[in-house]
Amino acid sequence: MPVRPKSDLRSSEITPESVYLDRRGFLSAAGALGAGAIAAVGGFSSIAGAQQPQAIGKPFGLQPDDKPTPWEDVTTYNNFYEFGTGKGDPSETAGKFKTKPWTVRVNGLVNKPADYQLEDFLKPSVVEDRIYRHRCVEAWSMVIPWRGIPLADVIKRAEPNSKAKFVEFTTLMDPKQMPGERSGVLPWPYTEGLRLDEAQHPLALLATGVYGRVLPNQNGAPLRLVLPWKYGFKSIKSIVRIRLTDSQPKTAWNQAAAQEYGFYSNVNPAVDHPRWSQATERRIGEFLKRKTLMFNGYAEQVGSMYAGMDLRVNY
């Protein structure tokens, strides 16, 4: 996601604070996934006491020197403008965010539109653990062990009709719970979009957890999108609607600054942001910068979807 002027940054955004997950917050998050969630994360003691849970999952697109970013950084250094524009704001302000009950509406150009409670939405898909590279448009990166279900499963279940070409996603609009939505920093509610073939790609994940645990509020609970070959702002959080359309959806950052944030937003080291280079990135927890990889290292898997496209125009 975009950065603010240096003068607006606070020290808490530069040096992440410790994560605080209280028992009540955990119960709320676990409840959104059902009774099995408590067993999946190993109970209350592991949430309260562990400093660095073990990363689990199949590594996708990782380089030999890629190591999972520590839990504390993953859960305290976040872009989630609904809870504030600072990196530390989400972990500080999202603790009381209610994720149960949670309804996800799937509609539009489909044969089987439906409103789902989260636990029903996740069935009958198999929950998977995957470790992905994550690249932010601000030129920092992480390696994150996600838990979730393939987006393609949801699309298939809805049965898109022949007119469907795009998928639009919408975040919850609730300014009482999400103080950032009271600001004019973005057009609310937050929206994002994909072409249908992108949404059906095997790498596209609807995440319900991280590090084998229930997804913390500040990371987009209870349901967020993860697209490892695109910049992080494409991975919309706290999703309440998935709508299939015949036209390209409007997206929040593209509406706010179209010259800076295109619809595709594929990681591309050759196309700079108007205000900074994308050729290198700062891996959180490392001192030296890394070279940015095309499609964030997933070119072999996703490159064919953009064959023949001018990726400078379709940025």
Please list the residues that pair with 283 across neighbouring strands: 141
Helices (H) and strands (E) in the chain, counts: 11, 13
44-102 pLDDT per residue, tens: 233 333 457 889 999 999 999 999 999 999 999 999 999 999 999 999 999 999 999 99
Residue with token string 């196309």: 271
Whether 15 has a pLDDT exceeding 60, the answer reads: no
Question: What pLDDT, on a 0 to 100 scale, did the predictor assign at position 52?
Answer: 75
What pTM, to 2 d.p., does this model score?
0.84
pLDDT-above-90 percentage for the chain: 83
**CA separation for the pair 185, 223 (Å, rounded):** 23
Whether 206 has a pLDDT exceeding 50, the answer reads: yes
101-110 pLDDT per residue, tens: 999 999 999 9
What are the extents of the domains in the chain? 6-306
**CA separation for the pair 238, 118 (Å, rounded):** 11
| CA-based nearest residue to 131, from 76, 230, 54 | 54
Please list the residues that pair with 145 across neighbouring strands: 131
Q: What is the sign of the dihedral through the CA atoms of 61, 64, 68 and 74? A: negative
Q: How would you class 240 by CB atoms within 10 Å of its CB: exposed for 0-12, middle for 13-18, buried for 19 or more?
A: middle
**CA separation for the pair 137, 144 (Å, rounded):** 16
Whether 12 has a pLDDT exceeding 70, the answer reads: no
**Mean pLDDT, the chain, as a whole number?**
88
Question: What pLDDT, on a 0 to 100 scale, did the predictor assign at position 51?
Answer: 59
Question: What pLDDT, on a 0 to 100 scale, did the predictor assign at position 249?
Answer: 98
Question: What pLDDT, on a 0 to 100 scale, did the predictor assign at position 256?
Answer: 97
Whether 126 has a pLDDT exceeding 80, the answer reads: yes
Query: Do 215 and 224 meet the contact criterion of CB atoms below 8 Å apart?
Result: yes
From residue 233, how far is each of 30, 157, 177 by CA, in Å?
A: 25, 26, 21
With bands split at pLDDT 50, 70 and 90, how would you rate the model's confidence at 1? very low
Query: Do 208 and 223 meet the contact criterion of CB atoms below 8 Å apart?
Result: yes
**CA separation for the pair 244, 194 (Å, rounded):** 10
Let me know how long the chain is. 315
From residue 10, how far is each of 78, 80, 91, 94, 202 by CA, in Å?
A: 14, 16, 14, 18, 38
Domain 6-306: CATH architecture, name and number where available? Alpha-Beta Complex (3.90)
Please list the residues that pair with 266 across neighbouring strands: 230
The helix/strand/coil state of 217 is helix
Check residues 30 and 181 and name the one with the higher pLDDT. 181
Whether 280 has a pLDDT exceeding 90, the answer reads: yes
Check residues 10 and 53 and name the one with the higher pLDDT. 53
pLDDT-above-70 percentage for the chain: 84
Whether 148 has a pLDDT exceeding 80, the answer reads: yes
244-275 pLDDT per residue, tens: 999 999 999 999 999 999 999 999 999 999 99
